[in-house]
Chain A
Amino acid sequence: MRDHFLNMTIFSLLVSVFFAFLTQSTNRNRLRVALVLCLSMIGISLMIAYIMFPFPLK
């Protein structure tokens, strides 16, 4: 479990499913919200990582 991307994906999946079930009452909506949340979390994280890429580490 030292893979950053795998960790992020698992975390996003768990949190998405949790909030989908917490906020929606029908299965169709739950699936839709879980997908949108999960993909948003992964996508935004990758975008932020890409923006931060040129920053110096020192």
Chain B
Amino acid sequence: MNQEEKKPEVNSEPAPPALRRRNPKEIAAACALAWAIPGAGHLYLGRRLAGAVFFAVVLITFSLGLFMGGKVYLIDRTQPLSYLATFSNLALGPLDLVGRESVYGRMVFRIPDDPKSQEAEELLQTVRDRIKLETYEYGTTYLLTASLMNILLILDVFDIGIGRKE
């Protein structure tokens, strides 16, 4: 018999953690943490490196978006897609509030129904000023990407929690 066939394979990679279903409270806590702080859900589930990298990547993407004058979306009843974009922004948790505070000077989520009101005028003027920036499109893309990344992180934490993913 060939001895080489018997030789066990040398694997330098650490074995991936075994699949296991966690209890619902733990899953809910992990998902809530993932929403509140990017990467925190993975940290909570014991994936330290991945959690730290996710935190850094999402934070850098979000910061670049704000720095480049990206738009933090507001619900506008005349534009149905603004609901989706605002929902996407909200997936960033408290970071989204930081974004709204820095862009609009307050935590605002929708444009008032009366477009001629002073508040609506101020908000629209802020948006118009940002659109004039050369890097506005880039910034908006970065902000939306950071939000979508965090949605994927929450779903990933859920999958790990229910034992669907290693």
SS class, residues of chain B in contact with chain A = helix
Interface residues of B in 128-144 (CB under 8 A from A): 134-135, 138, 141-142
Flag if A2 contacts B16 (CB, 8 Å). no
Interface residues of A in 1-50 (CB under 8 A from B): 1-2, 7, 10-11, 14-15, 17-18, 21-22, 25-28
CB distance from B153 to the nearest CB of A (A): 8
CB distance from B151 to the nearest CB of A (A): 12
Bound CA span A7–B57, Å: 15
Pick from A2, A18, A27, A28: contact of B149, CB under 8 Å? A18
Bound CA span A17–B149, Å: 11
Question: How many of A's residues come within 8 Å of B, CB to CB?
Answer: 15
Is B28 interfacial (CB-CB < 8 Å)? no
Bound CA span A28–B58, Å: 22
